[in-house]
Chains A and B, each alone.
Chain A
Amino acid sequence: MKGHFVLNRAHLSYWLRQLRKDADLIGPLRSTDGDIIFSSIENIHDIELDCPASIPSPKEFIFPQKEEMFRFSDKGVSSKSNGERRVIFGVRSCDISAIALLDRFYGELYEDSFYMDRRRNTVFISIACNTPDPTCFCIGLGTGPFLKSGFDIQLTDLGNRYLVQAGSGEGLKIIRRFRHLFQKPEKTDFDDQYEAMLSSQSGFEKRITLETVRQKIITAKVEDSFWESVALRCFQCGGCVYECPLCTCFNVVDWKEDKDKGVRMRLWDTCMFKGFTKMAGNVLPAEKQIMRTKRWYFHKLLYYPEQFGKFGCVGCGRCTITCPGRIDMAAVANKLD
């Protein structure tokens, strides 16, 4: 099949080392306190291949938590481009599905040049999930554990080898450049991939489709008392928003370095904070927590589907891991299902 290859397990680190020669190689590492984080790879063998979801999601490499928009001085403004080439390895299927949606969000109508510059210079190598975490529910949303499209390169771990699928021109390019490392796949390779997929699908503890929840909200079957009970448990920590691969909001601040020069920055922001919508005259459109809780869920469950035909959730389970109040997407969906 076109765009399908096999890579011997022993050749993976060689390939990555070659890719690192003209791009920053980023992948999942275990931090000193045990969390999985995406970071530049110094030593290929540090890459964690069997690990739970990273916290935060890899969205920070295309939409950084804090970024310089431009510098200003009395002479005017200047902005540097984000031209550095990057290969991000070991990304999960759900995160790739999230990035495909972020591409539309930041790219449509008005194009966000900061995001798109980074995006155009980034190639993702994702790994289909053979063993889902207990918190994962991508299977009910079609955003994982194996993807049919939307990736640059998808690897499936078949033990001694990987089935390699190219899903974009950029992906194909970085395979073709090292053609000698890849073989043509046999029928058994596809059979083994199919088996891996079935075994993964049977491993999900959570089976949630958000469609029932959406229907219930649209038909006004969910009363405010339900959202009140969710809001009551919110600590307003913003964790769910920061960790979610599909939360996109930001704040903009000016930083003065000198009398007449400085920098304008943008920083992740969260609609869970009261001041997020504050207006002149100290009007607070979302003063009560219930309004902000509803805003977050309605955005993901009603308005994302209206705007993009997809939920604003890919079932990565990070809000489940993060929320100290245990009122994450999966918990809410379970209660309403």
Chain B
Amino acid sequence: MKNKNRQNRKGLYLPAKVEILDVVDMTSDVKLFKLERPKSFYYSPGQFLMVSVWGAGEVPISITSTHEIRKDIELCIRKVGAVTSALHSLTAGDYLGIRGPLGNRFPFEEAFGKDILFVAGGIGIAPLRSLINLVSEQKEKFGKIALIYGSRNPSEVLFLDEILRWRDEGIDVYLTVDVKTDPWKYSTGLVTEHLSKQRISFKTCHSYICGPHVMIKAVMRDLSLMGMPAENIITTLEAHMKCGVGKCGHCYTDGKYVCTDGPVFNYTEIKQFGMSNP
């Protein structure tokens, strides 16, 4: 999954100024930002942006919208520290800086005619959503499509309305939470407990996974043990990033730059490097 994107020759580090069109509160610490999409800005599911707030800094954020479907750019951002807090204080009409799109994309043409399994944990639904919406636009090209989405508790479930729409459109949806609090009519337990319930053919299925590190690790291992070919088990990794373009060295792990060789990797690649450490 080499990135062939050779753009941005001049001003590699200069962000473009874009306007925030709307900000939607999703949970107590997650907001959805809708940004103006600059002219000739094309992106694919799995790619990310380096997002700047002047004076606070720059952080990598996945694009959660789908180019083919929306005219704006959507980012789903959890407040965890300095820059993400600064982002959360912005409102419609404010400006921020973006660089990108960066990184490689989810390969999905290989899944034509085959079943697809999406596995998301927490805010990991954000990068997958870009692909799920693209795939659900052309469902006839694929076999069965299933989504398992795990959250800590019912109040942290993101994009619930959209997920229920996907279900109505024919995607098998399994929602699960670690801790049942509010009235909750779906499942409980870890996403790994629901893998075997899927009515898909594991031997030919393609799987796309995103979530916390421990979850990704467990799901990849289990799917592999269930007979899914390692090349079909695909994830997107997180790493500390300062440049997004293969220069600052922060995201570097065992010979790979997560920012330019990834962030999307398959299980074969992951077994060769990374994930060994944490």
B12 pairs with A278, CB closer than 8 A: no
Residues in chain A near residue B268, CB distance under 8 A = none
A280 on interface, CB distance cutoff 8 Å: yes
The answer to whether A109 and B56 have CB atoms under 8 Å apart is no
A77:B15 contact, CB within 8 angstroms? yes
Q: How far is the CA of A277 from the CA of B15 in the complex (A)?
A: 23
- Indicate if the CB atoms of A70 and B13 lie closer than 8 Å: yes
Within 8 A of A (CB), among B220-278: 238-240, 242-243, 245-255, 260, 277-278
Number of residues from A at the complex interface, CB < 8 A: 48
A252-B58, A254-B55 given; A277·B240 CB < 8 A: yes
List chain A residues, Cβ under 8 A from B240: 276-279, 285
Chain A residues closer than 8 Å to B56, beta-carbon distance:
254
From 14 to 38 in chain B, residues with beta carbon under 8 angstroms from any chain A beta carbon are 14-15, 17
Nearest residue, chain A, Cβ from B84: A280
Is there contact, CB below 8 Å, between A269 and B249?
Answer: yes
Contacting pair A249 B250 (CB below 8 A): yes
The residue in chain A whose Cβ has the minimal distance to the Cβ of B102 is: A110
With A109-B260, A279-B238, A285-B278: A76-B17 Cβ-Cβ less than 8 Å = yes
B57 touches A254 (CB 8 A): yes
The answer, yes or no, to whether B97 is at the interface (CB within 8 Å) is yes
- From known contacts A111-B12, A276-B240, A279-B238, infer whether A249 and B277 are also in contact, taking CB-CB under 8 Å: no
User: Contacts A113-B10, A279-B240, A280-B80 given: A285-B277 contact, CB under 8 Å?
Assistant: yes
Minimum C-beta distance from B251 to chain A (A): 8
The residue of chain B having its C-beta at the shortest distance from the C-beta of A250 within the complex is B248
Q: Is the CB of B14 within 8 A of A77?
A: yes
- Whether A269 contacts B248 by the Cβ 8 Å rule is yes
Query: A113–B12 contact, CB under 8 A?
Result: yes
List which A260-303 residues lie within 8 A (CB) of chain B.
260-262, 264, 266, 269, 271, 276-281, 283-286, 291, 295, 298-299, 302-303
Residues of B near A278 (CB, < 8 A) are: 240
Interface residues of B in 71-91 (CB under 8 A from A): 80-81
- Asked if B183 lies at the interface with its beta carbon under 8 angstroms from chain A, I say no
Flag whether A237 is at the interface (Cβ < 8 A).
Answer: no
Question: Quick one: closest B residue to A252, CB to CB?
Answer: B242
Smallest Cβ distance from B127 to chain A, in angstroms? Answer: 14
Q: Are B249 and A254 in contact (CB under 8 A)?
A: no
B80 to chain A minimum Cβ distance, whole angstroms, is 5
Interface of A is mostly: mixed
**Min CB gap B219→A, angstroms:** 18
- Contact partner, A250, options B6, B239, B247, Cβ 8 Å: B247
Does A12 sit within 8 A of B, measured CB to CB?
no
Are A110 and B12 CB-contacts (below 8 A) given A262-B55, A285-B253?
Answer: yes
Across-interface contacts of B260 in A (CB, < 8 A): 109-110
Residue A227 interfacial (CB < 8 Å): no
Q: Mark B33-67, 1 if CB is under 8 A from A, else 0.
A: 00000000000000000000011111000000000
B14-A110 in contact (CB<8A): no
Please give, as numbers and ranges, the residues of chain B lying within 8 Å of A66 by CB-CB distance: none
Q: In the assembled complex, which residues on chain A have CB atoms less than 8 Å from the CB atom of B248? A: 249-252, 266, 269
Residues of B contacting A334 with CB < 8 Å?
A: none
Q: Mark A242-259, 1 if CB is under 8 A from B, else 0.
A: 000000111111101000
> Does A205 make an interface contact (CB < 8 A)?
no
Are B250's CB and A280's CB within 8 A?
A: no
- Distance in Å: Cβ of A108 to nearest Cβ of chain B: 9
Q: 13 new A-B pairs (CB below 8 Å) besides A110-B247, A110-B260, A113-B10?
A: A76-B17, A77-B97, A106-B247, A112-B12, A112-B245, A249-B248, A254-B55, A260-B54, A264-B13, A269-B248, A271-B249, A278-B240, A283-B213
Chain B residues within CB distance 8 Å of chain A: 6, 8-15, 17, 54-58, 80-81, 97, 212-213, 238-240, 242-243, 245-255, 260, 277-278
